[in-house]
Amino acid sequence: MIDREKLTALRDAPVAPAAHVIDGARCQASGGGTMDVVSPLDGSVLTTMPRGTADDAAAAISAARKAFDDGRWSGLSPAARKAVLLKWADLVDAHALELAVLGVRNNGTEISMAFKAEPVSAAATIRYFAEAADKLYGEIAPAAPGTLGLVHREPAGVVGAIVPWNFPLMIGAWKLGPALAAGCTVVLKPAETASLTLLRIAELALDAGLPRGVLNVVTGEGATVGAAIAESMDVDVLVFTGSGPTGRRLLEASARSNFKRVYLELGGKSPNIVFADAPDLDEAAKVSAHGIFRNSGQVCVAGSRLLVERTIHDAFVAKLKSVAEAMVVGDPLDPATSAGAINSERQLAQNLRFVAEARAKGRTIVTGGHRVREDSGGFYMAPTIVAGVSPEDALAQEEVFGPVLAVIPFDTEEEAVAIANGTQFGLAAAVWTANLSRAHRMIRAVKAGVVHVNTYGGADITVPLGGVKQSGNGHDKSLHAFDKFFDLKTAWIKL
């Protein structure tokens, strides 16, 4: 439960200028100056943070390299690492409301979602991977008599992690939890518009006893700090969540440098497919609306394409319209708000451009399509439903990353599959049907890393999240996340 009295006290509290966390200490940029942190709630300057330089990134990488090589973390027993990480998770939990409010002021997510999805989720994720640290074993190979084959798991080294602005703590923990539990050291680069909470949990990690240099956080622009991490010869693994164009640049940087392993989660254009035999169309409409409009659509797995069987199309869109129009777009720090702010003015402009292009093509704006709460000074947009969208439209092909839903009718199961698979993405999908055989056929046929059936979202830490096609490679969450952060070493012994 959110303590409303504490929430009120925190919402207007001054925010001190932020600082990098490098080698266990807070420090400012080496010559790069500072960047204003603009709150999407009202457009005001919340605080400042360092405009990191390549030298700052190099200092953080050097600290991580030294910390890894001297064994202060990688050389600890898994049980010892586990104890520190569990203490860190407890501290994140203890500061959950502080972190949630700071994050909302920084990136605009509604507090009702942010509290659970950010600090509470991050603490649970760190705890999950901490508990697994001393339960992963190597292997004994079935070698011929007189020979012993051993497969050792060893921490991969220095990890560069670049995370987005929509859920910085949740996604950050998906990277940090398994990397640190495996014994790696990390240089983390948060998004320019959502750095404050990750800096704060790095300080909490030090309070928990994480050795200096094991977790370093450098703020700044991707073209400077992110590029320096990607091109470093001392970073062994790079993990990233963000856009496809940036992912391509990171792969190119790997090729130019040391061929570091690069794991990418690059977003999606996820199809949410509703058949006429869905078990509860009212529930499907409610969940589908939340699957695109919570956090103002700024969710990588958002169900941004709604495919509806033609026989129920008009009735279902009407249900969806009612749910969307009942949602409260408002102050993200009000627990009654259903959808908060758009992260930045730039992102808001991009959202509106997609709607304008759809309108120019003659598509039907069922509801929304406009900016709201302009008098607040912040960046807000009404939940938007666009009907009559062609599968070839930009609105059906490109990731908007905003509260804009493209509705496309279909007639047959085969047509639904063709439309669902007809983009470059393959991150998530959903199928609503009471036909068990159809559900299994669709799970097989739809090209996506996650397929929901009669729900949308909610997959927890126990199952992997990853994409196919141009939605990326590798997996966050579940024990499979460790695969990115271990090297396998074979010992072949003659007895």
**Residue 188 sits in the same domain as residue 287:** no
| Structural domains in the chain (count) | 2
Q: Is 195 helix (H, G, I), strand (E, B) or coil?
A: coil
Provide the pLDDT for residue 1. Answer: 76
Coil, strand or helix at 214: coil
pLDDT at 154: 98
Determine, yes or no, domain membership for 17.
Answer: yes
> What's residue 297's pLDDT?
97
Known catalytic residues are 265
Cβ neighbours for 225, distance < 8 A, ≥ 6 positions apart: 52, 53, 54, 56, 57, 189, 218, 219
60 plus 120 within the same structural domain: yes
Tell me the per-residue pLDDT of 175-205, one tens digit each, with 9 for 90 and over: 999 999 999 999 999 999 999 999 999 999 9
Mean pLDDT across the chain, nearest whole number? Answer: 97
Q: Which amino acid is at 481?
A: A
Q: Which of 409, 453, 455 is nearest to 308 (CA)?
A: 409
Q: Tell me what pLDDT residue 232 has.
A: 98
Which pLDDT does position 400 carry in this prediction?
Answer: 98
Identify the CATH number of the domain in which residue 476 sits: 3.40.605.10
Residue 240 shares a structural domain with residue 192: yes
Residue 251 and residue 294 in one domain: no
> What angle (nearest 5°) sits at the alpha carbon of residue 344, between those of residues 338 and 348?
75
Q: Is residue 246 part of a domain?
A: yes
Q: Which pLDDT belongs to residue 254?
A: 98
**Same domain for 242 and 345:** no
Does residue 237 sit in the same domain as residue 278? no
In 3D space, the residue among 270, 295, 243 whose CA is nearest the CA of residue 408 turns out to be 270
Query: How far, in Å, CA of 6 to CA of 445, rounded?
Result: 49
Pairing of strands 45-50, 34-38: antiparallel
380 plus 434 within the same structural domain: yes
Convert the pLDDT of each residue in 435-482 to its tens digit. Answer: 999 999 999 999 999 999 999 999 999 999 999 999 999 999 999 999
Domain that holds residue 53: 4-266+472-492
Q: Residue 424 has what pLDDT?
A: 98
Pairing state between β 185-189 and 215-217: parallel
Compute CA distances 155 → 128, 180, 184, 265, whole Å. Answer: 18, 9, 5, 22
Give the tens place of pLDDT for each residue, 4-15.
899 999 999 999
Query: Does residue 388 fall inside a structural domain?
Result: yes
Q: Do residues 115 and 152 share a domain?
A: yes
445 and 425 in a common domain: yes
Q: Say whether 234 sits in a helix, a strand or coil.
A: coil
In a domain, 86, yes or no: yes
Report the C-alpha gap between 394 and 49 in whole angstroms: 36
| Bridge partners (DSSP) listed for residue 493 | 148
Residue 227 lies in a domain: yes
What is 418-446 written as a DSSP string?
A: HHHT-SS--SEEEEE-S-HHHHHHHHHHS
Secondary structure (H, E, C), 75-106: CCCHHHHHHHHHHHHHHHHHCHHHHHHHHHHH
Same domain, 112 and 125: yes
Dump pLDDT digits (tens) for 71-125: 999 999 999 999 999 999 999 999 999 999 999 999 999 999 999 999 999 999 9
Q: Which residues contact 234 (CB under 8 A, 6 or more apart)?
A: 61, 62, 64, 65, 158
Dmax over CA atoms of the chain, in Å, equals 79
Q: Judge if pTM exceeds 0.85.
A: yes
Tell me the average pLDDT across 348-371. 98
Indicate which CATH number applies to the domain containing 455: 3.40.309.10
Which band of pLDDT confidence, cut at 50, 70 and 90, is reported for residue 367? very high
Q: Is the pLDDT of residue 263 over 80?
A: yes
- pLDDT of 30 > 90? The answer is no
Let me know if residue 40 belongs to a domain.
yes
Confidence band of 32 (pLDDT split at 50, 70, 90): confident
**Residue 420's Cα: distance from chain center in Å?**
22
133 and 184 in a single domain? The answer is: yes
Whether residue 212 sits in one domain with residue 81: yes
Inside any domain, residue 275: yes
Residue 467 placed within a domain: no
